[in-house]
Structure 1
């Protein structure tokens, strides 16, 4: 291994990125627990706090409005940003950036397939790795092409899929994938809450790779991920996050504009119901397809807001726990699935039936607090998280020093 292929030094990390990544990881944890009913298992099997129905409705509504899809969108933007950093840094040092990056995403792909099959069907790593391979094609594109392509994919790809379903589904009936998903989640319930691990592995693999990925809706999912990657790469080209103190006003404008706009789009259905407005049949697919647009706008707004907050030293210290978790994002992401396995599934304590909106949030806060404590303890002694250290070792072909001096 040459010096040109060395991994990023700790001193070269952008602290704001780690804090944003930690925030996104909390959102992913929260939404994964919140969304298990309806994805992994039937929604009606999650009874939550039945005596606090009003609280459950309020927390559930706000959970969807404030975070559903936004954390994943933010993570996708960060992935594209990290790709651009890697290509730029290795290229300037005379290394073979595409070769190193290819090895990196192939390792991530194998890890994602294993993670999805063995523990958590909602794994995002496999999709990130697959779209990361396509992202390599954009490394020499101009900033203008990156922005245009990113916006087109992130917004229009999922919208096109919704319009396709609208045009091909008989009036008054749900798209074909809906009853199929419902039947599949019903069949998974006794497996997830049982103790037959081989059956569980088969069910996890089928849920993602032979059910979801074989449906047209997956094209919108992959297109949105790739588009967000490309936008993240474009953001790196602008240089804003490399010197965030110079662009505080710009970040403030972005946060003050995009967060309310994203919320407004996210409220579209509620507002239409309140005003008794029914969209025209030809516009239903368009209205449904606006969800990913709302997610992207809010994600960018949240990131900008966190950058602004980080410019205040006391607030930055307060947010430093997010940075510790974000610096060990892969370790903590995989660790969250271990918590699912131990506490939510039938192999452990079997708490999933109680994970309605309120307890989903409470569970996420407790688990994430433990991850902050663990991450602080670990990083006080070691330079990388366990999974990050192994990933770097496999990527660069040489074992990086783990213990801090």
Structure 2
């Protein structure tokens, strides 16, 4: 509206309000996708035909999320993680600290938080993945900005090629059985893909519904049995893409984009370029899936085709947010506060949603249709926006940010006193 936020907050040395505002949008936006994993069976995340409704308002909810938010909010979060990581490293170096020690202590404690979150609270944890990829990203922090971008593009291309093996495999399983015995084997393999990306069998759905409508001990038991190796699996499949996003975030930080330092015309120009390319492509892919009625092979194929389209959508989102943010505005300040407490708000969201949807809480799992999940999202957004700013008016950090910072630095940090937000 008026201008992008200034590069530094006059009320607190070294604060970058632009980063906080974009992070605030990301931590709210990521719930638009995570709510599906909290409230519906696993396959519904990628395939609305699997569960939760795929007509009318349910289809509209899927379309909006697929085109504008799916993968983009996670990617934006990853951009910001890379930018914030670089900021912490540069400040450590400027103050004469051992940057490697500071960084790896932060990542090791983040890994510990993430594993606790993954195994004890929710299987959709992203913190563990960020900690592992962040450890690798440290070695690339001093690359020139241009090389960061080139390497990021190469990693996205490598991810696309890696993911492309999945639709090739599905196509082979669907068409290339050489006899009855092999056809039966291929059908079993296809059912494995259907459990996560297609339409699961009634028996598979019944088992998942029974599990998450059950007690805490049963859920954690399955989680510990099935997700012990999840961090390494995610690192293999999604690590290159996430590392690319962190590199893009570091480059965007250095260029001034995520600092809020670009002139408005430059944000507008890159928004038009990025969304002018990617947005029509996402719309086309969405209508292709609707036309194909979300059959397994089209779903898997589109999942691959979105990989190279996500980075320009993410850059466009960052530009749009900073164009709309009004310095000093009430809503902008509340978004910045939510972003500064992103760690606390992310984990609080998991605690709230698992308490609402799982059997040891209210047991809503599988009882709401897709569109009915979004009033829940709005209510949680309101809570985050209402509580973050008053908290930071009294305390320097969010509660979990304070614990993480204290553990990473090896001493309890000063907690009381208003933060600059």
Instruction: Trace 1:176-187 onto structure 2 (pairs within 5 A).
Output: 178-179=193-194, 181=196, 182=200, 187=207
Q: Distance in 2 between matches of 1:242 and 1:152?
A: 25
Aligned to 1:116: 118
SS at match of 1:293: coil
Instruction: Trace 1:2-401 onto structure 2 (pairs within 5 A).
Output: 10-36=12-38, 37-39=40-42, 46-47=51-52, 53-153=55-155, 155-169=156-170, 170=172, 172=174, 178-179=193-194, 181=196, 182=200, 187-195=207-215, 197-210=216-229, 214=233, 219-242=236-259, 244=261, 246-270=262-286, 272=288, 288-310=303-325, 312-313=326-327, 316-401=329-414
Q: Distance in 2 between matches of 1:63 and 1:242?
A: 27
Q: Distance in 1 between matches of 2:206 and 2:236?
A: 24
SS at match of 2:236: helix
Residues 162 and 286, structure 1, Cα contact 8 Å, conserved in 2? no
Q: How many residues align?
A: 382
Q: Distance in 2 between matches of 1:91 and 1:228?
A: 23
SS at match of 2:92: helix
Residues 289 and 299, structure 2, Cα contact 8 Å, conserved in 1? no
Q: Please give the per-residue CA displacement for 1:193-212, whole angstroms capped at 9, x wherever unaligned.
A: 111x2221122244544468
TM-score, length basis structure 1: 0.85
Q: Distance in 2 between matches of 1:138 and 1:213?
A: 21
Residues 39 and 185, structure 1, Cα contact 8 Å, conserved in 2? no
Q: Distance in 1 between matches of 2:224 and 2:44?
A: 14
SS at match of 2:414: coil
Residues 158 and 219, structure 1, Cα contact 8 Å, conserved in 2? no
Q: Distance in 1 between matches of 2:260 and 2:22?
A: 15
Q: Please give the per-residue CA displacement for 1:102-128, whole angstroms capped at 9, x wherever unaligned.
A: 000010011101101111100100000
TM-score, length basis structure 2: 0.82
What is the aligned-residue RMSD (CA, Å)? Answer: 3.0
Residues 46 and 355, structure 1, Cα contact 8 Å, conserved in 2? no
Following superposition, the deviation at residue 385 of structure 1 comes to 0.3
Residues 63 and 357, structure 1, Cα contact 8 Å, conserved in 2? no
Q: Please, which runs of 5 or more residues in structure 2 have no aligned partner?
A: 1-10, 176-188
Q: Distance in 2 between matches of 1:233 and 1:61?
A: 31
Distance 1:260 1:285, change over 3 A: same
Following superposition, the deviation at residue 139 of structure 1 comes to 1.8
Distance 1:254 1:186, change over 3 A: farther
Distance 1:76 1:12, change over 3 A: same
SS at match of 2:174: coil
Residues 16 and 307, structure 1, Cα contact 8 Å, conserved in 2? yes
Q: Distance in 2 between matches of 1:275 and 1:379?
A: 48
Following superposition, the deviation at residue 395 of structure 1 comes to 1.1
Distance 1:124 1:191, change over 3 A: same
Q: Distance in 2 between matches of 1:309 and 1:151?
A: 28
Q: Distance in 2 between matches of 1:61 and 1:163?
A: 23
Q: Distance in 1 between matches of 2:308 and 2:225?
A: 29
Residues 42 and 195, structure 2, Cα contact 8 Å, conserved in 1? no
Residues 109 and 129, structure 1, Cα contact 8 Å, conserved in 2? yes
Residues 164 and 285, structure 1, Cα contact 8 Å, conserved in 2? no
Distance 1:237 1:107, change over 3 A: same
